[in-house]
């Protein structure tokens, strides 16, 4: 990543230290693929608590994401989006946009693109169904991975040991009485997800809401990501589920192809 020579620039008359540290941290995320808190402390000359607060705010705003297994940080979707015009390539959201729109039109239900974070699933972008009875758009929000089809689809790409390590840091919450709260039961569900080829959710996050999801192949740049289709349980039939799965697979294939073209 190109860095301007600070010696050629005049510092501002009234510098703001917190802003300066944040901007330096953004530069580090662009330079170091797997950034750790120790790197932040050393490069910025700050203490552990300050380093943690700076990184936590960038994660909250989507400028950084934390690998759920290694715990290292890397550039998030918002930082990649900000840098795309400068030659960093298309973001995941950009690559997925046409496929997501086609998915929404095909299924006539609410669809989402999300990524896996240590605390759960972050919904990057969604398209809400136009039907009167529909699932709400969750863009910008987070949900526990074990309680969502999108989260389970991405957890299924990890090993059992990685899932145990990740879930061991967070108590498995129970948003509804159908939520899986036992790690061994979750691992069994993830095994079924791998064999099935997609993840299911039946009112495990919200009563009356069902969904299916497919994880994107890791050949797609960026953090682990997935697509989902969600609908009210009252119209979620076996036929609707299979139609959604076919549409999800087509959308995932389109994103893989589009990402490959845009990053070559």
> What is the model's pLDDT at position 9?
60
Write out the chain in H/E/C secondary structure. CCCCCHHHCCCCCCCCHHHHHHHHHHHHHHHCCCECHHHHHHHHCCCHHHHHHHHHHHHHCCCEEECCCCCCEEECHHHHHHHHHHHHCCCHHHHHHHHHHHHHHHHCCEEEEEEEECCEEEEEEEECCCCCCCCCCCCCCEECHHHCHHHHHHHCCCCHHHHHHHHCCCCCCCCCCCCCCCHHHHHHHHHHHHHHCCEEEECCCCCCEEEEEEECCCCCCCCCEEEEEEEEHHHCCHHHHHHHHHHHHHHHHHHHHHHHHHCC
- Whether 31 and 55 map to the same domain: the answer is yes
Mean pLDDT, the chain, whole residue set: 86
Q: Domain end: 68, 88, 108, which one?
A: 88
User: For 19-51, how does the pLDDT look when each residue is reduced to its tens digit (9 = 90+)?
Assistant: 888 888 888 887 787 889 999 998 889 889 998
Residue 253 lies in a domain: yes
Residue 68 lies in a domain: yes
Q: Domain end: 88, 118, 152, which one?
A: 88
- Whether 128 and 235 map to the same domain: the answer is yes
Domain tally, the chain: 2
- Whether 118 and 243 map to the same domain: the answer is yes
- Whether 74 and 98 map to the same domain: the answer is no
- Residue 164's domain is classified under what CATH number? 3.30.450.40
Residue 1 lies in a domain: no
> What is the model's pLDDT at position 14?
67
pTM score, two decimals?
Answer: 0.68
> What is the model's pLDDT at position 221?
66
User: For 95-146, how does the pLDDT look when each residue is reduced to its tens digit (9 = 90+)?
Assistant: 888 999 999 999 999 999 998 887 789 898 899 999 999 999 998 888 999 9
User: For 53-91, how does the pLDDT look when each residue is reduced to its tens digit (9 = 90+)?
Assistant: 999 988 888 788 887 778 888 887 677 655 543 333 347
- Residue 28's domain is classified under what CATH number? 1.10.10.10
| Whole-number percent of the chain with pLDDT over 90 | 49
What range defines the domain where residue 141 resides?
92-262
């Amino acid at each position: 990543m190109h860095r301007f020579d600070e010696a050629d620039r005049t510092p501002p008359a009234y510098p703001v230290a917190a802003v300066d540290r944040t901007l330096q941290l953004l530069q580090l995320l662009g330079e170091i693929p797997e950034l750790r808190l120790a790197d932040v402390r050393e490069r910025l000359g700050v203490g552990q608590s300050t380093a943690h607060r700076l990184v936590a705010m960038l994660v909250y705003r989507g400028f950084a994401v934390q690998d759920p297994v290694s715990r290292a940080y890397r550039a998030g979707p918002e930082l990649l989006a900000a840098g795309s015009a400068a030659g960093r390539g298309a973001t995941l959201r950009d690559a997925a946009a046409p496929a997501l729109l086609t998915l929404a039109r095909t299924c006539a239900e609410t669809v989402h693109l999300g990524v896996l974070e240590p605390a759960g699933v972050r919904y990057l972008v969604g398209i809400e169904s136009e039907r009167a009875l529909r699932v709400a758009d969750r863009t910008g929000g987070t949900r526990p991975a074990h309680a969502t089809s999108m989260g389970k689809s991405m957890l299924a790409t990890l090993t059992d040991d990685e899932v145990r390590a990740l879930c061991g840091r967070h108590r498995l919450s129970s948003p509804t009485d159908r939520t899986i709260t036992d790690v061994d039961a979750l691992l069994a569900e993830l095994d079924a997800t791998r064999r099935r080829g997609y993840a299911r959710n039946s009112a495990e996050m919200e009563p009356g809401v069902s969904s299916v999801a497919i994880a994107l192949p890791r050949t797609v740049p960026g953090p682990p990501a997935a697509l989902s289709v969600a609908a009210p349980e009252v119209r979620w039939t076996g036929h609707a589920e299979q139609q959604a799965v076919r549409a999800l697979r087509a959308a995932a294939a389109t994103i893989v192809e589009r990402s490959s073209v845009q990053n070559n």
